[in-house]
């Protein structure tokens, strides 16, 4: 079915139940102990996530002298191929397409974060449709996050450049002066890289950006220039008013992207905040609600004039706003 730098994946059929599965075969006699430890760590994480709906399920595994076999659910198509097919067919921006796949993707990441795990290598190819349900795959470089911290510190810099957050690229102790924050300064003697749940949110923002504009935020750069652009705070991400096919991009979509792609990890949305954003969960009003609101405003103004109450106090404004917001909430959530 495919191959990576360290493994091959095959589609197989069980002779027992005739079901299709994917077998990931890793031959590690050519790798060092760190690689072997990483693959065993993937097994541990998949075992921990067993039963999680939005994570590809590990069915079985075998660790031999020179290889590891992981038997997993078999999927139909990943998001990378979905995007490629749409771009090849030159489809214009479809906001319903973006919303659906963004929500599905974020639900996958939420299930992983809820389990206390940072994936660290989120990209379209690592989201796979299995029987119509999007699931997250490839935990080869993921890490469990200790309860007392939102970040972990990794001894090697790994991930996919197009979707990597700035903090995952900045090596502590090997950083250009001026790019280091206070936390980096405290740990400047450690040759490590920082990753955390906000870095996964950045990756999700890059994928959503790609769905809207056709490429990730720094997709116009190549090689080392891409790394330098991501790390350089002077190079701002552009948010054009028109997306694929010259289709207008809603302000709510741009606001969500900006919250996901904030350079400071502390300023980024959480996955839950992304799912609750105005773009992915818009406030809906009906014609009847608008009519009632207009009637309320006109009647209020008329009564105030006749009663000679004069100016409207701020408390009264607040009460009116609260009434409107409550009406919208009841309309949206029943």
The catalytic residue positions are 121
Residue 328 near residue 285 (C-beta atoms within 8 A): yes
Residue 3: partners with Cβ closer than 8 Å, 6 or more residues away: 9
Distance CA 24, CA 188 (A): 38
Q: Write the CA distances from 146 to 85, 152, 154, 234, integer angstroms.
A: 39, 8, 13, 33
Q: Write the CA distances from 252 to 39, 118, 125, 264, 279, integer angstroms.
A: 40, 27, 26, 20, 5
The most distant pair of C-alpha atoms in the chain lies apart, rounded to whole Å, by 91
110, two tokens: 């939420």
Q: Write the CA distances from 174 to 182, 226, 250, integer angstroms.
A: 15, 18, 40
Residue 46 burial (10 A CB sphere; 0-12, 13-18, 19+): buried
Phi, psi of 23 (to 5 degrees): -110, 120
Distance CA 128, CA 75 (A): 6
Alpha helices by DSSP H, listed for the chain, are 33-48, 79-88, 95-114, 166-169, 182-186, 197-213, 224-231, 251-260, 271-275, 287-307, 314-333
Phi, psi of 129 (to 5 degrees): -80, 120
């Amino acid at each position: 079915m495919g191959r990576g730098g360290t493994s091959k994946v095959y589609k197989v059929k069980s002779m027992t139940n005739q079901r299709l599965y994917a077998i990931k075969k890793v031959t590690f006699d050519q790798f060092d102990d760190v690689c072997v430890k990483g693959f065993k760590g993937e097994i541990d994480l998949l075992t921990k996530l067993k039963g999680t709906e939005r994570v590809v399920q590990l069915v079985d595994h075998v660790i031999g002298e020179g290889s590891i076999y992981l038997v997993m659910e078999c999927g139909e198509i990943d998001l990378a191929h979905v995007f490629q097919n749409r771009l090849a067919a030159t489809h214009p921006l479809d906001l319903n397409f973006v919303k659906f796949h963004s929500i599905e993707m974020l639900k996958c990441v939420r299930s992983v974060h809820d389990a206390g795990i940072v994936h660290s290598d989120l990209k379209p190819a690592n989201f796979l449709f299995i029987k119509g349900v999007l699931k997250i795959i490839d935990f080869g470089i993921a890490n469990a996050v200790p309860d007392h911290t939102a970040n972990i510190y990794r001894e090697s810099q790994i991930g996919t450049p197009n979707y990597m957050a700035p903090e995952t690229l900045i090596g502590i102790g090997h950083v250009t002066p001026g790019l280091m924050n206070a936390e980096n300064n405290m740990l400047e003697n450690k040759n490590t890289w920082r990753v955390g749940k906000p870095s996964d949110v950045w990756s999700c923002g890059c994928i959503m950006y790609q769905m809207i504009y056709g490429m990730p935020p720094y997709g116009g750069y190549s090689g080392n220039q891409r790394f330098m652009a991501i790390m350089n705070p002077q190079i701002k991400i552009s948010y054009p008013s028109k997306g694929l096919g010259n289709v207008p991009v809603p302000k709510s979509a741009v606001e969500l992207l900006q919250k996901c792609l904030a350079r400071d990890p502390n300023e980024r949305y959480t996955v839950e905040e992304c799912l609750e954003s105005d773009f992915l969960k818009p406030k809906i009003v009906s014609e009847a609600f608008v009519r009632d609101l207009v009637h309320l405003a006109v009647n209020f103004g008329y009564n105030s004039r006749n009663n000679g109450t004069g100016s409207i106090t701020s408390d009264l404004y607040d009460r009116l706003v609260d009434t409107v917001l409550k009406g919208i909430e009841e309309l949206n959530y029943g």
